[in-house]
Amino acid sequence: MSKGSLYTHVQSGIATVEFYHPASNSLPSELLARLANAFNELSNNTEAKVIILKSEKEKAFCAGASFNELLAIDNLKEGKLFFEGFANVINAMRKCNKIIIGSVQGKAVGGGVGLAAACDYCLATEAASIKLSELSIGIGPFVIEPAVTRKIGLAAFSELTIEAIQWKTAYWAKEKGLYAHVYESIKELDFEVENLAIKLSKYNNEALFELKKVLWEGTSHWNELLSKRAEISGKLVLSEATKKALQTYKK
């Protein structure tokens, strides 16, 4: 359980990818790899017409990178490899030929915001505040930036990044384009996500596939781009200032 868990199933044309980690649904390397593999496999699964991405429990949607793993990194190769885990998930989501619906029931931090942004359509609750805290710990949201900026624009990304310790409400995220709709409760969110998935599963598969290509047009260079960004983050995480900030932040 320290490495987290991932549950994937397909029923009536709807695939559900549900992840969990006891540390506020944070993402260690193994869980990132399993998420990327899940999207790659579902892309080729003819039974799956649409995908729902969600996390377990009722609190945090995703706390981003695993602090334990960040603190354990002691060379550039390890650092780049860790951040490439996020790059691989985002690339798997953008290249997946199925529409991905994000179901965000709680707070999203760092890489969690990147996950939400990499969804094709995202629904959330009022509790789904967001924060990009990377600058405050000595790194930056470089790997997830292309996905986040694609959704909310450069100005909003800049605000979110520079105000690194400030939470932005779910309604702020909706206004900027990260979320399509915000609901009062998880019960309402689950109902709306399921209804949307059912509708999409009945649409023309070819039309959905062509829509997916249009939505991600102009991102074919992301394999190389996100790998370069992973190297930047991998280098920054080695600094003494970052190590100290991580220790403080973890406490």
Which pLDDT belongs to residue 250? 66
Residue 183 lies in a domain: yes
Measured distance CA(210)–CA(215) in Å, rounded: 9
Tokens of 142: 């470089």
pLDDT at 118 exceeding the cut of 90:
yes
CB 42 within 8 A of CB 48: yes
Per-residue pLDDT band at 246 (split at 50, 70, 90): confident
Q: How many domains does the chain have?
A: 1
> Is-contact 85 32, C-beta < 8 A?
yes
| Mean pLDDT of the region 117-136 | 97
Among 124, 132, 131, smallest CA distance to 179 is for 124
How much is the pLDDT for 71?
86
**Residue 129 placed within a domain:** yes
Question: Please, are residues 178 and 115 in contact by the beta-carbon 8 Å criterion?
Answer: no
One DSSP character per residue, 142-175 reads TTTHHHHHHHH-HHHHHHHHHSTT--B-HHHHHH
Write down the pLDDT at residue 251. Answer: 65
* Beta-carbon-side half-sphere exposure of residue 169 (alpha carbons within 13 Å): 8
Note the pLDDT of residue 240: 86
67 residue type, one letter: F
Domain range spanning residue 64?
A: 5-201
Would 117 be classed as within a structural domain? yes
Query: Average per-residue pLDDT in the chain?
Result: 95
Supply the pLDDT for residue 145. 98
Segment 98-127 mean pLDDT: 98
pLDDT at 247: 78
Q: Is residue 228 part of a domain?
A: no
From CA 182, how far away is CA 175, in angstroms rounded? 10
Mean pLDDT, rounded, for 231-240 = 93
As a whole number, mean pLDDT of residues 163-190 equals 97
- Least reliable range by pLDDT among 2-11, 141-150, 238-247: 238-247
Please tell me the pTM assigned to this model: 0.95
Give me the mean pLDDT over the 103-118 stretch: 98
Tell me, yes or no, whether 197 lies in a domain: yes
DSSP bridge partners of 130 = 108, 168
DSSP structural state of residue 74 = -
- The verdict on residue 85 lying in a domain is yes
CATH number at residue 92: 3.90.226.10
pLDDT, greater one: 47 or 243: 47
Residue 221 lies in a domain: no
* CA–CA distance, 108 with 91 (Å, rounded to integer): 19
Q: Given 3-state DSSP classes, what are the helix, strand and coil percentages for the chain, each rounded to the nearest 5?
A: 50, 15, 30
102: closest CA among 115, 83, 86? 115
Please provide residue 117's backbone torsions phi and psi, each rounded to the nearest 5 degrees.
-70, -30
Q: Is residue 240 situated within a structural domain? A: no
| Residues 121/180, Cβ–Cβ less than 8 Å | yes
Q: Residue 180: helix, strand or coil by DSSP?
A: coil
